[in-house]
Chains A and B, each alone.
Chain A
Amino acid sequence: MSNLLEIKNATLKFGGVTAVNDLTFSVEEGEVYAIVGPNGAGKSTVFNLISRFYDPYAGSINFDGNNLLDRNADAVADLGIARTFQNIELFDHATVLQNLLVGRHRHRSTNLLQEALFTSKVRREEKRHREAVEEVIDFLDLQPYRDKMIAGLPYGVRKVVELGRALASGPRLLLLDEPASGLSVEETQDMRWWIDDIRKQMGITVLMVEHDMGLVSGVSDRVLALADGAKLAEGTPAQVQSDPAVIEAYLGAGAA
């Protein structure tokens, strides 16, 4: 299998703090790759580097042969990279359906004039987007919430809607920032099946940050452990969990 995402020697500093320190890793096409680590290890920062919200101080980020550093944050989605956020970032004053349709924005092919007049092309495109969104709705069982405003939905549903919005864009790489945080045991179980199906049925590569080791070892092929922005260990979930350096980072020296 080939590498879909390659991060080489990425370094990011905020003033005197080194958030990501000379980090190198790659994600293969079709795998579920998890990043774990204690709070402040730089996991979300890695995501924000890939999303181009931050400029790395040094290093390179490549996606399927494209240099991501050549692109602005809004041009990353065009390559087929979709993401969710740690603290759900949905469009609160819009319905679930509208939120999912925003996910289709990168497939927009009509211009301002056509949209102002709502020509038959816009109408046709709208139906096409709707079909794609309906597939996601069926996949995630969101049927009861289609026309509900986000502002009135419970946390667990919002989490699923955010996953749906990322899926609606038809990505090749899905970045999930703590998909199970704040979810109940049942909801976490659902999330686990969904991530499995996203990889197996849809063929989407998943890169996720997660604290729930049950979920991580259940779905991921490889795990990267981070501490203080640097790589501690990389390997299968079992290898990483038994790595002395990882245990030390979580529990302190002498615990092993």
Chain B
Amino acid sequence: MRIHFKTSYEHDIRLFPDRWSFLVYALLIVVAVLLPWLIDDFFLGEVTNVLIWAIAGLGLMMLTGQTGQASLGHAAFLALGCYSCIIFMEQGLPFLIAFPAAGILTGIIGTIIAIPAIRLHGIYLAIATMALSILADDIIVLMEPITNGVSGKFAPVINIFGIEIERWGTPDRFYWLVLVVAIICTLIYRNILRSPLGRAFAAVRDSEVSATAMGIHISRTKAISFGISCAITGLAGALMGFFSGIVTNETFSIVISITLLMMIVIGGLGSIHGAFFGAVVVAFLPQFLSLAKETVIGGGVAIPGLETGVFGMILILFILFEPMGIYGRWMKIRIWFELFPFARKDMFKRQKSYLKTERLR
């Protein structure tokens, strides 16, 4: 059992609570950097896929987990980030400028779209943003001169100071690129969480009435959250484009939006770990299912809807039995070991909450 003996306020502000957790994460990063030499190209591609999903998950987590606004429109922002990055590069911009620019553009457009949308609450916001996902498909087809419509666009080769990076040609370099983006996004996410803005997000999520009384501008805070969320999602979208090599109007469908939302719920709402855990499930489940199907009933047999069915089932089970997601389960297991043998089942019981002030507006 570890006891944090705090001697300064720094202790609660810095990134890692103690040397031990710093070492764990340092080790994790070392292993992540060395990964291309440890596993073959197929699995490296899978890990790259996990990281890209995790970045997208971080984007949605900022909005849904931290600020409490559900969005089913994030596939549209993935598409926006992807198309704008590819188009910027086709116009001759180097990747190092085109990629952040795509993120910033997605963030700005996300904020503009958010301004009317955040007037809606809960399920209504989800429905309004769902419309975005559906519209995105049509908009890509309608804007054929720029987007190439249904025939789609090929992702160009990334060139950073003469080093060429390509998904199939140099999977290790592409993996490192994604890893760097994932680490930067995680750091920014963590920094926002430990600063006043992150607390304002939590305040808006938990009680809009008292957040207002504390001087927090609700709609501005939500719009900022939308902006950051969309910017990170845009970056993930661009990486997805480079990962799949070709993007069409069907690449970023509504199903991607739903998967993304399910992913962060399964992973654990409101935690950085949750985005990564959820990404592992989302990225590996299809592979796992096809493997399982082959061994159980043999290859060649198609079961339509198997993947979505299993996904839905997992989601229902999590909501019923582990609303905190995989991260919540992870914490419980950790605490159990840390307190051994003093952990008790009731320690994790959810407390009932008290009456809330009725909506004022």
Contact = CB atoms under 8 A, between A and B. Distances in A.
B108 interface: no
Interface string B342-361: 00000000110111110011
A102 B200 contact: yes
B182 to A, nearest CB: 16
B9 A130 contact: yes
B214 interface: yes
Contact of B191 (A53, A86, A90, A115): A115
B216 A74 contact: yes
Contacts of B218: 74
A85 B203 contact: no
Given A104-B196, A105-B199, A151-B353, A130 B12 contact: yes
A102 B199 contact: yes
The DSSP consensus for interface residues of chain B is helix
Q: Among A86, A116, A152, find the residue whose CB has the most chain B CB atoms closer than 10 A.
A: A116
Contact of A85 (B206, B210, B216): B210
A76 B224 contact: no
B39 interface: no
A53 B360 contact: yes
A106 B9 contact: no
B45 interface: no
Contact of B202 (A75, A93, A103): A93
Interface string B190-211: 0110111111101101110111
Contacts of A131: 9
Interface stretch (A121-129, A192-200, A225-233, A241-249): A121-129
Contacts of A117: 188, 191
Contact of A122 (B9, B195, B270): B195
Contacts of A127: 9-10, 13
A188 B228 CA distance: 44
A112 interface: yes
Contact of B357 (A73, A74, A89, A91): A89
B222 to A, nearest CB: 12
Contacts of A165: 210, 214
Contacts of A86: 357
Nearest to B189: A116
Nearest to B10: A127
Given A87-B357, A93-B206, A126 B13 contact: yes
A89 B192 contact: no
B353 A93 contact: no
A226 B24 CA distance: 62
A125 B194 CA distance: 12
B257 to A, nearest CB: 24
Given A105-B216, A126-B13, A169-B214, A115 B197 contact: yes
A116 B214 contact: no
Contacts of B205: 91, 93
Interface string A148-179: 00011001001000000100010000000000
Contacts of B350: 151
A162 to B, nearest CB: 8
B351 A152 contact: yes
Contacts of A152: 351
B217 interface: yes
Interface residues of A, number: 53
A91 B215 contact: no
A78 B215 contact: yes
Contacts of B197: 112, 115
Contacts of A90: 206-207, 210
B160 interface: no
Contacts of B209: 53, 85, 89
Q: Among B13, B191, B194, B199, find the residue whose CB has the most chain A CB atoms closer than 10 A.
A: B199
B9 A116 contact: no
A118 to B, nearest CB: 4
B355 A87 contact: yes
Contacts of B210: 85, 89-91, 165
Given A94-B199, A94-B202, A74 B215 contact: yes
B212 interface: yes
Interface in B141-192: 188, 191-192
A89 B224 contact: no
Given A93-B202, A102-B200, A51 B213 contact: yes
A123 B214 contact: no
Nearest to A83: B213
Interface string B319-332: 00000000000000
B104 to A, nearest CB: 12
Contacts of A12: none
A83 B360 CA distance: 15
A118 B194 contact: yes
A51 B213 CA distance: 7
Contacts of B188: 116-117
Interface string A134-145: 100000000000
Interface of B: 9-10, 12-13, 188, 191-192, 194-200, 202-203, 205-207, 209-218, 224, 228, 270, 350-351, 353-357, 360-361
16 contacts: A51-B213, A53-B209, A53-B360, A54-B360, A76-B215, A85-B357, A87-B356, A89-B356, A92-B207, A98-B199, A105-B196, A115-B191, A116-B188, A117-B188, A125-B196, A126-B194
